[in-house]
Amino acid sequence: MIVINPWLKLMRPKQWFKSFYIIFGSLPAIFLMPMKPDVIILFLSLGILNMILIQGVMYITNDIADLKADRLHPKKKNRPIASGKISVREALIFSLFLFSLALIIAFMLDFRIVIIDLALVLNNLLYSFKPIKFKDIKYVDILSASINFPLRVMVGWFLFEPYNQARLTFSYNFISTESISNSIQSIIFNSHPRIIELFLKFSTVTLSFVSIMLLTYFFAVFLLSLKRLAEKLNIKNAEKIRKSLEYYRPVELKLIAIFSAMIVLISFVLLSWSLKPILVVLSPFALLMMIWYYKLTFLKNSIVTAPEDIFTKMSKFVIVAIAICLLALIILFL
């Protein structure tokens, strides 16, 4: 059994895979980039490191906010703060150190990434702490936590967006109609009416970005709604551990999961059309994977209560998911 250093464990290495979501956001922007592969790899590495650090800050503040509840949880009671291995004061100092490093890297990359980092931390504070504490509010807890996923994707986009040639552009032009000299506006204000022409230009690269944002947000809603459902079905006195579960009914969580899965599928089709239409052939596989995951929710001691464990405990699921991703890449680059 691998023993993880308590300080490293605070940053939850099992969750670091979420930092790689920025790759999804960066792909559309990279397509029209006049940059060398080594520069792209450098940018991606710094972006992923930035996300790992920011996520560390978020997880530490979340552990501090949930200290009492975590001590009652069968698994979370072993976390460094809940178990007493690291004090709250020490954890706060460590989180400030991580936050400072993350902001330095963000400033190096793009100022908009700084804003995203701040938005992630602010959303986490509102989610975890009173007087608002989104975590305890029905529906809002899922919608708020899900925002983190597209924000990570947005970091990937802004890593490369300044360098590509397919940015979303908006422009306007005023055309004077001097021929209408007897209008009220002309008589009273001594100015002729003007026509405003608006121009909005976007490419399939921008459509890719929008569809990826929708896909990641609603996929997060899908995962979190099923996690709440699995917690409600599998954990004894789950309401004491997560207050919002007191207000949910299983049928509501099922409907949220099904609705979000439909949006994910639509977003996947839009993404496929914007990148390479033939990718649409993979949509049935995406649907089957979501159905498979949905069914896992209702198993005894469901792994869905801790999705990060799926990488170590559900090898078949992971292998199939990787195979589909590889097939998508092959189709994309053929």
Tens-place pLDDT, residues 190-204: 665 566 777 656 556
Q: How confident is the model at residue 221 (pLDDT cuts 50, 70, 90)?
A: very high
Average of per-residue pLDDT across 152-181: 69
Pairing of strands 169-176, 194-201: antiparallel
Per-residue pLDDT at 253: 94
Place of tokens 């490293």: 8
Q: Counting beta carbons within 10 angstroms of the beta carbon of residue 187, is it exposed (0 to 12), middle (13 to 18) or buried (19 or more)?
A: exposed
Per-residue pLDDT at 1: 40
- Please give the Cα distance from 211 to 207 (Å, whole number): 6
Average of per-residue pLDDT across 130-143: 88
Per-residue pLDDT at 301: 83
Average pLDDT, the chain: 83
> Which tokens is 204 given?
């399939």
Per-residue pLDDT at 292: 93
pLDDT tens string 241-271: 778 888 889 999 999 999 999 999 999 999 8
pLDDT tens string 146-166: 999 999 989 988 888 776 655
More confident residue, 273 or 192: 273
Backbone angles phi and psi of 170, in degrees to 5 = -130, 130
Per-residue pLDDT at 163: 67
Per-residue pLDDT at 3: 46
Q: How confident is the model at residue 2 (pLDDT cuts 50, 70, 90)?
A: very low
More confident residue, 268 or 331: 268
**Domains assigned to the chain:** 1-161 (1.10.357.140), 203-334 (no CATH)
Q: How confident is the model at residue 284 (pLDDT cuts 50, 70, 90)?
A: very high
Per-residue pLDDT at 294: 94
Q: Counting beta carbons within 10 angstroms of the beta carbon of residue 316, is it exposed (0 to 12), middle (13 to 18) or buried (19 or more)?
A: exposed
The fraction of the chain above a pLDDT of 70, given in percent, is 83
CB 101 within 8 A of CB 54: no
Predicted TM-score (pTM) of the model is 0.78
The fraction of the chain above a pLDDT of 90, given in percent, is 36
